[in-house]
Amino acid sequence: MASPYSTFKQLAKSESEGKDYQVRIDLRDTPVLVMAPHGGKIEPMTAEIAEAIAGHDYSFYSFEGLKEDGNNILHIESHLFDEPRALQAVGKADIVITVHGQLNRKDAFVMIGGLHNGLCSEIRRQLEATGFQIRPVGRGLEGIDSRNLCNRGRLKAGVQLEVSRKVRDLVRADKSQLEAFAGAVRKALQIYLAGC
């Protein structure tokens, strides 16, 4: 079901913060921001993955659905996402990595999109080296729109990770897999930042 909301202002008129959704944010003195704009019960485990990638080094933001059911209506598309705290955080970051949930329950894979080709390639290398399967980005999930949240940092080029439901279920059930996934992305970031 598509969301009836195309802006956060519309959402906030009908939904209550603390009851229907929550925002978690932890800004640090770093050029990197890791985000889950559809966390909580919207795209389960995306906030946990983003938070694990951020660790204690990178900034973190998540918008999380809290409803008992029907959280899909809280899904504002990435090129329209305009929650004010998110935009403020994005404006302070050079690089934005967003974590999303792809619906496939049968296969375990990650799709990597976004305009930051160098970092996308390094993340791909590190995730594959850790044993995660990478698939070509599906139509509509490329993350190449300049308005996409991942591309709104100061470099105007970021990374969008689409994580299949099967991988999200795997990292929920096995903390070592969550640590492996996050560690691979963090290693890619460290390699990229060391070369800047």
pLDDT tens, 3-34? 889 999 999 999 999 999 999 999 999 999 99
Q: Which residue has the higher pLDDT, 102 or 49?
A: 49
pLDDT digits (tens, 9 = 90+) for 30-82: 999 999 999 999 999 999 999 999 999 999 999 999 999 999 999 999 999 99
Helix (H, G, I), strand (E, B) or coil at 48: helix
Q: What is the DSSP string of 107-176?
A: S--EEEESS-HHHHHHHHHHHHHTT--EEPPPTT-----TTSGGG-STTS--EEEEEEHHHHHHHHH-HH
Mean pLDDT of 75-99: 97
- Name the helix (H) or strand (E) containing 38: strand 32-40
Q: Can you give the pTM of this predicted structure?
A: 0.96
Structure tokens at 18: 């603390």
pLDDT of 99 above 60: yes
Mean pLDDT of 76-93: 97
Q: How confident is the model at residue 2 (pLDDT cuts 50, 70, 90)?
A: low
pLDDT digits (tens, 9 = 90+) for 143-194: 899 999 999 999 999 999 999 999 999 999 999 999 999 999 999 999 999 9
C-beta of residue 72 within 8 angstroms of C-beta of residue 1: yes
Average pLDDT over the chain, rounded to whole? 95
**What's the pLDDT score for residue 3?**
80
For the CA atoms of 79, 110, 86, 52, the dihedral, rounded to the nearest 10 degrees, stands at 180
* Measured distance CA(175)–CA(179) in Å, rounded: 6
Q: Say which residues have a Cβ less than 8 Å from residue 79's Cβ, sequence separation at least 6.
A: 145, 147, 148, 149
pLDDT digits (tens, 9 = 90+) for 121-145: 999 999 999 999 999 987 777 889 9
Q: How far is CA 13 from CA 8, 16, 88, in A?
A: 9, 8, 21
